[in-house]
Amino acid sequence: MRRLLFLLPLAIFAALAVWLYAGLGGDPARIPSPLVGRPAPAFAVNGLATGDLEGPALVNIFASWCVPCRAEHPLLAHLAEEEGVVIYGIAYKDKPGNTNAFLAELGNPFRKVGYDEDGRAGVEWGVTGVPETFVLDAEGVVVLKHTGPLTPDAVRRDLLPALGR
Amino acid sequence: MTAELGHFALALALGLALLQATLPLYGAARARPALMELARHTAIGQFILVAIAFGALARAYVMSDFSVAAVAQNSHSLKPLLYRMTGVWGNHEGSLLLWLLILTLFGAMVAMFGGSLRKAFQARVLAVQAMIGTGFLAFTLLTSNPFARVWPPPLDGAGLNPLLQDPGLAFHPPLLYFGYVGLSVAFSFAVAALIEGRVDRAWARWVRPWTLAAWAGLTAGIALGSWWAYYELGWGGFWFWDPVENASFMPWLAATALLHSAIAAERREALRSWTVLLAIVAFSLSLLGAFLVRSGVLTSVHAFATDPERGVFILLLLGIATGGALALYAWRAPAVGTGVPFRPVSREGALLLNNLVLVTACATVLLGTLYPLFLDALDAGKVSVGPPYFAATFVPLVAPALVAMAVGPMLAWKRGDLAGALGRLWLAALGAALAAGAALAYGETLAALGLAAAAWIGLGALVEWGERLRLGRAPVEEVRRRARSMPRGAWGAGLAHLGVAVVVAGITASQCFQSELILAMKPGDSARIAGYEIRFDGVSRIQGPNYRADRATLSVLDDGAPLAVLGPERRFYPVERQHTTEAAIRTTFLADLYAVIGEDDAQAGRTVRLYHNPLVPWIWIGAIVMALGALLSLSDRRLRLAVPARRRRQPATA
């Protein structure tokens, strides 16, 4: 019995190593979301709640303090203005003042913006980092999750097909 | 040519490491002195060869030799000399070479200062050290050659991420690596002890100074990184529970536990096999950190360029080193024995409590950091992993350790008197009550708890010194005599605890009493924050060596009288096409006035963010005090490495 106790560290480490190996294969920017295939999660923050979401649409998690969000912003603006895509924004762990300044500076591509100051909505959406973009279909079911800043390539290859275009 | 010379030196070092990893082990098993002696020479040889390689790479950076791929990708001829040099380790390949340089430096130090170790034991330690060296040299040469050439060479380099072009961050990696890699020595000592099946007080006495040195480096490195995040990232925070930050914090927690359990192992032969396990775990967490940062399993703001092939290689290294050491542990540790038993209320008991808390806290951080991976593997429910998770788990976990911290050093070994210890701590209790009362007067319950803990720990450390010196109870002469003869280790331990108190106070006050103001300002506008008036005087355009910047002039007025001028900048680096913010900070050491500017808007004006952060400098001051405490302990005669040898030799020569 006591010998088993000394084996415990090795056993824990072995389990850990297997997990780490399993994590290696995937591209970290494509963390599969348990949300895919399910309806949008229930959340309600200042400015936006689950009931406001009308698919097909994008839900973009962003923050004024996040540099990649700034980088993807022109692409969101393009999608909203030129392609007529409906986009909802959730400002993750951001002060409303900062969010508004960010949107005033770069333009507001969002139909509605939710102010998720303490990151509660981020929990419901399973956010691992900003920016992240979810695609909702016409029934409001999450069909795709994109982690990291959007690129023209990802929009053409993944997002637009997922929106049914 | 120089690059090829460096490459060649690395390959030679790998050859030496292979020799050192095998022959001395055989020599130690068969009692062949020549083979055991070999380890010392190859260890020093390895260090010299890696230093040559490092020098060759540094030369390529300083001379801007863009035919070397790593230089072309990470440097630029317009970069100031300091950043061309520190750029050596600002990327994956170069930082591995720095890691190797420090690893072989520690090996050479064990070879040079380990003269008083038993020969067979030293040979085994150096052999294990060389196994680690072999792994990392092979990793560098096979997957991440820093000397690879590009042809034709580009006209100029791609530049270094401007966020990293900063004096604070320039010296953050060397200190941090000193800590990470320093823990390899404790690991090698643990594995060598397991091979021999023998852990005694001498072993613990040897492990402590190496761990102390590594811990001091790790503490200073983490503090420097957090200071950088505070003034460079520009939003007033100092710790973000980012995976890479956690990667450095986990070995720190394990090393802190190791430092304390090694005391019990040295003084009382208690917690023996536990101490060995901690030594293995601490370095394994360093390796895990390397894996997390370099393999691309986690996304992070400052992960290196990632590559699955490298990930597999490091995981293999981690598997062999940690898996091998833990298998050896499972097999041999029962022979080592758990150690001398003790009562729960005793110095050993307090050290064990400290260990349990630190290890649990470390496991919490590990879980939080790896959670995205677990989620992948389990496809189970969801938990947000970020500051809310850590605030909810880590903080309540360490709270009992903070309370026990002042009491532990007051308890006697083997069987302590808790009531007596608490009685002697009345001054600390009084201080804690006053601090809590003052914070409650401002209506901040959390602040009351934090500040009370800080006062309790800080005054506790002072009371402990006072007790040792018999301050106020013995004549001045005796106190002075006792102060002179008090071991540096006791001064150092108290100082480190004092540092913790300062850090706790800094974190608490900056979290609970921060004021923040964000507004758009036009020249002539003014704002009030924490009793100061801030007047926006305008923005000027300035040209730096490799950037241009908008610098705002913000006058700080106290009752209308000018107090200081803040000049926050917003820089643009054309080579890298990146913007950075440079915060302007006016510190009184009791509080920081912190200003950042954003973009200009023709209508609303310039976005200005102002923070008043009380006690925030204490976080870094406290960390430096902790590191100084470790260095003071390190200078203790009883731990000084060469002393036992000299003492033993003296009677012979006399």
Q: Which of A156-165, B362-371, B517-526 has the lowest mean pLDDT?
A: A156-165
Torsion over CA: B427, B432, B433, B435 (sign): positive
Are A121 and A63 in contact, with CB atoms under 8 Å apart?
no
pLDDT tens for B636-653 read: 866 554 444 334 434 333
> Which residues does chain A have within 8 Å of residue B386's beta carbon, measured at their own beta carbons?
93, 119, 122
Examine residue A56 and say whether the peptide bond preceding it is cis (omega within 30 degrees of 0): yes
The closest CB to that of B334, out of A2, A16, A105, belongs to A2
For chain B, the average pLDDT equals 87
Q: Is the pLDDT reported for residue B491 higher than 70? A: yes
Question: How far is it, in rounded angstroms, from Cα B307 to Cα B141?
Answer: 15
What integer is the mean pLDDT of B543-561?
Answer: 88
The closest CB to that of A24, out of B308, B372, B520, belongs to B308
Are B129 and B181 in contact, with CB atoms under 8 Å apart?
no
- pLDDT tier for residue A34 given thresholds of 50, 70 and 90: low
CATH architecture group of domain A34-162: 3-Layer(aba) Sandwich (3.40)
Q: Is the pLDDT reported for residue B558 higher than 90? A: no
What integer is the mean pLDDT of A136-153?
Answer: 84
Q: Is the pLDDT reported for residue A65 higher than 90? A: no
* Cross-chain residue pair A28–B318, CB shorter than 8 Å: no
Q: What is the pLDDT of residue B258?
A: 95
pLDDT tens for B304-351 read: 545 667 788 888 999 999 999 999 999 988 888 777 888 888 888 899
Question: How far is it, in rounded angstroms, from Cα B412 to Cα B498?
Answer: 21
In this complex, is the C-beta atom of A31 within 8 Å of any C-beta atom belonging to chain B?
A: yes
Q: What is the pLDDT of residue B650?
A: 40
Query: First vs last Cα of chain A: how many Å apart?
Result: 63
In this complex, is the C-beta atom of B371 within 8 Å of any C-beta atom belonging to chain A?
A: no
Q: Which of A64-68, B33-37, B526-530, B627-631 has the lowest mean pLDDT?
A: A64-68
Torsion over CA: A121, A122, A126, A132 (sign): positive
Q: What's the one-letter identity of residue B433?
A: A
Question: How far is it, in rounded angstroms, from Cα B250 to Cα B358?
Answer: 9
Are B78 and B546 in contact, with CB atoms under 8 Å apart?
yes
Q: What is the pLDDT of residue B324?
A: 95
Q: Is the pLDDT reported for residue A146 higher than 50? A: yes
Q: Which of A158-162, B128-132, B453-457, B614-618 has the lowest mean pLDDT?
A: A158-162
**Bigger pLDDT: B297 or B404?**
B404
Give the distance from residue B313's alpha carbon to the nearest chain A alpha carbon, in angstroms: 11
pLDDT tens for B168-192 read: 777 888 999 999 999 999 999 999 9
Q: What is the pLDDT of residue B637?
A: 67
Overall size of chain A counted in residues? 165
Q: Is the pLDDT reported for residue B481 higher than 80? A: yes
R_g of chain A, CA atoms, integer Å: 19
pLDDT tens for B14-66 read: 999 999 999 999 999 999 999 999 999 999 999 999 999 999 999 999 988 88
Q: What is the pLDDT of residue B375?
A: 65
Give the distance from residue B394's alpha carbon to the nearest chain A alpha carbon, in angstroms: 18
Torsion over CA: A62, A63, A69, A72 (sign): positive
Give the distance from residue A58's alpha carbon to the nearest chain B alpha carbon, in angstroms: 21
Side-chain-side CA neighbours of B565 within 13 Å: the count stands at 8
Q: What is the DSSP string of B112-168?
A: HH-TTS-HHHHHHHHHHHHHHHHHHHHHHHHH--TT-B-SSPPSS-----GGG-SHH
Tell me A131's DSSP state: S
H or E segment to which residue B360 belongs: helix B347-378
* Cross-chain residue pair B323–A25, CB shorter than 8 Å: no
The closest CB to that of A119, out of B296, B319, B386, belongs to B386
3-state secondary structure of B528: strand
Give the distance from residue A19's alpha carbon to the nearest chain B alpha carbon, in angstroms: 7
Q: Where are the domains of chain A?
A: 34-162
Q: Where are the domains of chain B?
A: 1-165, 177-424, 425-513+616-642, 515-614
Which two three-digit tokens encode residue B66? 């863009």
Q: What is the pLDDT of residue B647?
A: 41
Q: What is the pLDDT of residue B382?
A: 44
* Cross-chain residue pair A22–B319, CB shorter than 8 Å: no
- Is residue B471 packed enough to be buried (19+ CB in 10 Å), middle (13-18) or exposed (0-12)? middle
> Which residues does chain B have within 8 Å of residue A68's beta carbon, measured at their own beta carbons?
none
What integer is the mean pLDDT of B584-612?
Answer: 86
Q: Is the pLDDT reported for residue B161 higher than 80? A: no
Question: How far is it, in rounded angstroms, from Cα B581 to Cα B598?
Answer: 8
Q: What is the DSSP string of B46-78?
A: HHHHHHHHHHHHHHHHHTT-TTBHHHHHH--TT
What integer is the mean pLDDT of B520-536?
Answer: 89
Adjacency order of strands within the sheet including B515-521: B515-521, B605-614, B591-601, B584-587
> Which residues does chain B have within 8 Å of residue A105's beta carbon, measured at their own beta carbons?
598-599, 601, 607
- pLDDT tier for residue B255 given thresholds of 50, 70 and 90: very high
In this complex, is the C-beta atom of A17 within 8 Å of any C-beta atom belonging to chain B?
A: yes
What integer is the mean pLDDT of B540-548?
Answer: 88
Give the distance from residue B337's alpha carbon to the nearest chain A alpha carbon, in angstroms: 11
**Bigger pLDDT: B69 or B237?**
B69
R_g of chain B, CA atoms, integer Å: 27
Q: Name the CA dihedral angle for B69, B73, B77, B82, rounded to a multiple of 10 degrees.
A: -100
Q: What is the pLDDT of residue B501?
A: 96
Tell me A129's DSSP state: S
Q: What is the pLDDT of residue B376?
A: 55
Percentage of chain B exceeding pLDDT 90: 47
Q: What is the pLDDT of residue B372?
A: 67
Q: What is the pLDDT of residue B389?
A: 82
3-state secondary structure of A86: coil
- pLDDT tier for residue A32 given thresholds of 50, 70 and 90: low
Q: What is the largest CA-CA distance in chain B?
A: 87
Q: What is the pLDDT of residue B643?
A: 41
> Which residues does chain B have within 8 Å of residue A30's beta carbon, measured at their own beta carbons?
none
Strands B548-558 and B561-566, bridge-based pairing: antiparallel
Q: Is the pLDDT reported for residue A2 higher than 80? A: no
Strands A57-62 and A87-92, bridge-based pairing: parallel
Q: What is the pLDDT of residue B307?
A: 62
- pLDDT tier for residue B278 given thresholds of 50, 70 and 90: very high
